[in-house]
Chain A
Amino acid sequence: MEFPSSTFLKSSSPSSINGQFIDSLCESDGVSKLKIPEVKFTKLFINGQFVDSVSGKTFGTRDPRTGDVVAEVAEGDKEDVDIAVKAAREAFDHGKWPRMSGFDRGRVILKFADLIEQHGEEIAMLDSIDSGKLVNLTKAFDIQFATNCLRYYAGAADKIHGETLKCTGEFQAYTLKEPVGVVGHIIPWNFPTVLFAAKAAPTLATGCTMIFKPAEQSPLSALYLAYLAKEAGIPDGVINVITGYGPTAGAAISSHMDVDAVSFTGSTEVGKLVMGAAAASNLKTVSLELGGKCPLVIFNDVDINMAVQTAWQAVFFNKGEVCIAGSRIYVQEGIYDEFLKKVTDNVKNWVVGDPFDPQVHQGPQVDKEQFDKVLRYIESGKREGATLLTGGKAIGEKGYYIEPTIFTDVKEDMLIAQDEIFGPVMSIMKFKTIEEAIEKANNTKYGLAAGILTNDLNTANRVSRSIRAGGIWVNCYLITESSIPFGGYKMSGFGMDSGLQALEKYLKVKSVITPIYNSPWL
């Protein structure tokens, strides 16, 4: 059986400027016209000011299309985190932010959302240049998500309700929901703006202050967003951004004695370190959004074309750099062969190339490390005996492009079925019965999300309850909205982002009890 291969496109945008790009597909005049957006902010953002790091050190953030440095960014370390925490502490303990009414905070957050919308194009380009994300999709999805999310929590800021309680004795008791204090947010590089907003919005709504550490691969949008936050009227010290590395800046936040909560999104491995540091320091509240190895279970009774499209997006969206990627595709035997054929057919419609090109579907992986790791997993898949249907190779000589890759005959114990690859690699497995599907789907240390494609109501309901994961998509996949709580079971972490539940991460519950006399009711 012969399978078509996907198209590789490295084009240029007419408005692009300088930059070198050597490639066989490069412009005929030999000069690349790769678009590189202007980078305005490269310093740490502390207490409302852009400042150099204490050490004066910087690090290069790279363009994954070429591996070239786009900008030198201040490298924050422990000393910088200390200064940022102090600013956040002051802003929380004595500043006006937690003392403003929820409604007034909401108005500021709405303004912040408007500014992001206004500067959406610029922010999207920063995420693209940093992470290799499709610029159009980033505008359409990431920026939209961020503004919607901020508006959602703006409206929630004046709806944080405690409760009055029933007591057995003659007591009047109620709960107060108080902001937890200074929050550390450590966010990854796959959705830099989305995750900044998803963390910042509920934190702002509750009246907390925060320190962000964006990923070292994608520091630019966070700095831009912090600038817009200030423009919107968020007081100095409420949002601080320390760009830098995990083992230095990230660790300093997780183990800081004056940070009240840490919220981390990233790998399970690092999640363990963050939680350990929190435990070893001040027992700060921890919430973790970690890895996933999400099953997409496709039953015989579905429309095969819908199934192929859904599975394709589930795996290849954002180059597979998605914690909820449907990286284990379970297909029921009745449609297995047809599914394989159609899914591989789909490769020819898939264009890999410059993420600034509107025709492109898949940009480069974020960096050399991820690129190498994905290729290693592909090799391991081959070595362990899976059948490589298509793809499997790097594309071009520069940058971190990988072909959309599909394996079949994948066994449960293979590394590619067990580990989070975080790349454009689909693993397809066959199953017979619903019981088998459930068992296999749950055969993972992760529990972030799952997809079910079926039109049978009983199957949908049964599998929904049986898979131990924080999100279940039935006849759809990757649907994330501000109102829908998002988070993991098992080693995918704990604590929910999004939804009203996300507010709980940044709130402490205080019970107040006082005696009452001669109450007409209890």
Chain B
Amino acid sequence: MSAAARRIASSISCPSISTVLRSSSSFTLGGRIAGVSSGIQRLSTAAAALEEPITPPVQVNYTKLLINGQFVDSASGKTFPTLDPRTAEVIAHVAEGDAEDVDRAVAAARKAFDEGPWPKMSAYERSRILYRFADLIEKHNDEIAALETWDNGKPYEQAALGEIPMFARLFRYYAGWADKIHGMIVPADTPHHVQVLHEPIGVAGQIIPWNFPLLMFAWKVGPALACGNSVVLKTAEQTPLSALVVAKLLHEAGLPDGVLNVVSGYGPTAGAAIASHMDVDKLAFTGSTATGKIVQEMAARSNLKPVTLELGGKSPMIIMDDADIDKAVELAHFALFFNQGQCCCAGSRTFVHERIYDEFVEKAKARVLKRVVGDPFKKGVEQGPQIDEEQFNKILHFIKSGIEGGATLVAGGERHGDRGYFIKPTIFSDVKDGMEIAKHEIFGPVQSILKFSDLNEVIKRSNASQYGLAAGVFTQNLDTANTLMRALRVGTIWINSFDIFDAAIPFGGYKMSGYGREKGIDSLKNYLQIKSVVTHLKNPAWL
């Protein structure tokens, strides 16, 4: 990798990138900022003029449903197009799964779970397969990354240097858990011996979004498989391609047929069929809060399957007055604009202390004007297109609402170019808590900068949200950091950092951002049943 690419990689700072860069300073970056701006400046271009899209260096080999280890057409024979968000042109026609296909997939998963061999294998053997899978991913890193970029529009360097290595890393993490899933022996008041067994829950239904197709795959499939479950996975209709490729590799690594089934298709059809299926034992969903409510209801109305939800966010990024402004600007920029702003935990409410507010806005503007928007396959590009027309229109609608609502448009505010779904990085200042852009999840490159004057105020305002996914805190003051750490009602707090997504760090929401945690030891609980075994003891030596 060239030095320039490395700098860009750091600038987009997908946290995992730091771990892939096996340079001497491989511990750096994540959300910590180091010499980024100079690199960006050098690589920034006048942008605007859209060139012919770069031909992705990869072919689409898999477009069918993966059921019981076989790629098959949908029962209806129907397909749907998946589009290149750079151009809105069709990449491929993909089999469209519906209730009947979900039935088939669930039956395969059921058989794989009930009859084995997967849950009956030793955990050590399961871990070996997951390790082998990670090795295969590493081997095919670049083509998988290219597919991810093609389908999703995210910068290729972000996918190739950050997300795909992180995907392998996550599977290695879960491979390591497989043989360390321990129940407990708990004390009893009476002469009883009590064993707590942690058993796999069964067939897991998993519905994942389009913003990080493979990382979301890893967050869900990794723990489910480590615990010995079988899976029916529905990918987002915007990004069905990469999951099929990695699922194929997982079988190559030794995963038995039927353990992982991938159904491409739409939410109201395939997704709903999973959520309301009587033979799915657990449901995990990542997506919008609105859809989260629907799937939870479906679970309730069908077989009361336990549900975990990772939903929307409107995460505050709090910049205190003692912060190094340049670093704060860069971090807040990254917190919002990373992945085209399509992050559930995007720092979409930038709260800046009044003493540094004006300077911050100026510098944030300067930074955003340097942001390189363009073909995500092009080296040095920081921001690609939004995922699809619907999202594109929604974001432009929010921008309009911001302007009409009285916020000051500092930069951007319109589409970029005249093709595909590119939007100029946008900043609003003078944003008030009651405005639409301060309340709703925009899921796009729109930064709202709000002013605050004291700690209690910013705590109150930060918590005045239906969401509680994450927060960023930028301060050098330990007491301030400690106070905010406990006072903010969110599932993740990044202090002088943002978007650090190590495998061991649990991630999930408070309030209407959902419940359940992904990654870390806590994620295993989503895929385990707890069984207490109580045996009467005769003349025990101790209790």
| Known A457-B535, A465-B541; contact A155-B176, beta-carbon cutoff 8 A | yes
B285 interface contact, C-beta 8 A: no
Mark interface residues in A380-419 (1 if CB within 8 Å of B CB, else 0): 0000000000000000000000000000000000000000
**Are B540's CB and A462's CB within 8 A?**
yes
On chain B, the residues within 8 Å of A483 by CB distance are 179-180, 182
**Are B127's CB and A155's CB within 8 A?**
yes
B5 interface contact, C-beta 8 A: no
| Known A461-B193, A461-B535; contact A103-B173, beta-carbon cutoff 8 A | yes
On chain A, the residues within 8 Å of B178 by CB distance are 155
| Known A172-B482, A462-B537, A519-B487; contact A155-B503, beta-carbon cutoff 8 A | no
Q: Tell me, rounded to whole Å, the shortest Cβ–Cβ distance linking A256 to chain B.
A: 31
- Quick one: which of A135-171 are within 8 Å of B by CB? 148, 151-152, 154-159, 161
B2 interface contact, C-beta 8 A: no
By beta carbon, the residue of chain B nearest A466 is B541
Mark interface residues in B449-493 (1 if CB within 8 Å of A CB, else 0): 000000000000000000000000000001100110111000000
Most A Cβ at <10 Å: residue of B176, B179, B487, B536: B176
Q: Which of A211-219, A260-268, A317-325, A510-518 contacts B (4 or more CB under 8 A)?
A: A510-518
On chain B, the residues within 8 Å of A159 by CB distance are 176-177, 180, 504, 521
**Are A516's CB and B172's CB within 8 A?**
no
**Are A103's CB and B180's CB within 8 A?**
no
**Are B19's CB and A520's CB within 8 A?**
no
On chain B, the residues within 8 Å of A521 by CB distance are 486
By beta carbon, the residue of chain B nearest A468 is B541
**Are A517's CB and B479's CB within 8 A?**
yes
On chain B, the residues within 8 Å of A152 by CB distance are 124, 179-180
B139 interface contact, C-beta 8 A: no
On chain A, the residues within 8 Å of B422 by CB distance are none
- Quick one: which of A501-517 are within 8 Å of B by CB? 514-517
A332 interface contact, C-beta 8 A: no
On chain A, the residues within 8 Å of B482 by CB distance are 172, 514-517
| Known A106-B172, A158-B504, A159-B176; contact A516-B486, beta-carbon cutoff 8 A | yes
A458 interface contact, C-beta 8 A: yes
**Are B177's CB and A462's CB within 8 A?**
no
**Are A156's CB and B535's CB within 8 A?**
no
On chain A, the residues within 8 Å of B485 by CB distance are 172
By beta carbon, the residue of chain A nearest B488 is A520
Query: In the complex, what distance in Å separates the CA atom of A98 from the CA atom of B119?
Result: 36
Count of CB-CB pairs between chains A and B under 8 Å: 94
Query: In the complex, what distance in Å separates the CA atom of A462 from the CA atom of B503?
Result: 42
Query: In the complex, what distance in Å separates the CA atom of A159 from the CA atom of B502?
Result: 12
Q: Tell me, rounded to whole Å, the shortest Cβ–Cβ distance linking A284 to chain B.
A: 28
**Are A462's CB and B173's CB within 8 A?**
no
**Are A158's CB and B180's CB within 8 A?**
no
Query: In the complex, what distance in Å separates the CA atom of A462 from the CA atom of B192?
Result: 11
A116 interface contact, C-beta 8 A: no
A254 interface contact, C-beta 8 A: no
**Are A101's CB and B19's CB within 8 A?**
yes
Mark interface residues in B517-543 (1 if CB within 8 Å of A CB, else 0): 000010000000000000111111110
On chain A, the residues within 8 Å of B536 by CB distance are 458
A206 interface contact, C-beta 8 A: no
Query: In the complex, what distance in Å separates the CA atom of A151 from the CA atom of B538?
Result: 40
Query: In the complex, what distance in Å separates the CA atom of A465 from the CA atom of B535?
Result: 13
A427 interface contact, C-beta 8 A: no
Partner of B124, one of A148, A157, A172, A462: A148
**Are B521's CB and A516's CB within 8 A?**
no
By beta carbon, the residue of chain A nearest B131 is A110
B349 interface contact, C-beta 8 A: no
- Quick one: which of A472-522 are within 8 Å of B by CB? 482-483, 500, 514-521
**Are A103's CB and B486's CB within 8 A?**
no
Query: In the complex, what distance in Å separates the CA atom of A458 from the CA atom of B538?
Result: 6
B175 interface contact, C-beta 8 A: yes
| Known A103-B173, A514-B482, A519-B483; contact A461-B521, beta-carbon cutoff 8 A | no
Can you add 17 more A-B contacts, CB < 8 Å, to A514-B482, A521-B486?
Answer: A104-B19, A106-B172, A148-B124, A151-B127, A151-B128, A151-B131, A152-B180, A155-B179, A155-B180, A158-B176, A161-B504, A461-B535, A465-B537, A514-B478, A515-B479, A516-B483, A517-B479
Q: What would 9 A/B residue contacts be, using CB atoms closer than 8 Å?
A: A103-B19, A148-B124, A152-B124, A155-B172, A158-B173, A159-B521, A462-B537, A516-B482, A516-B483
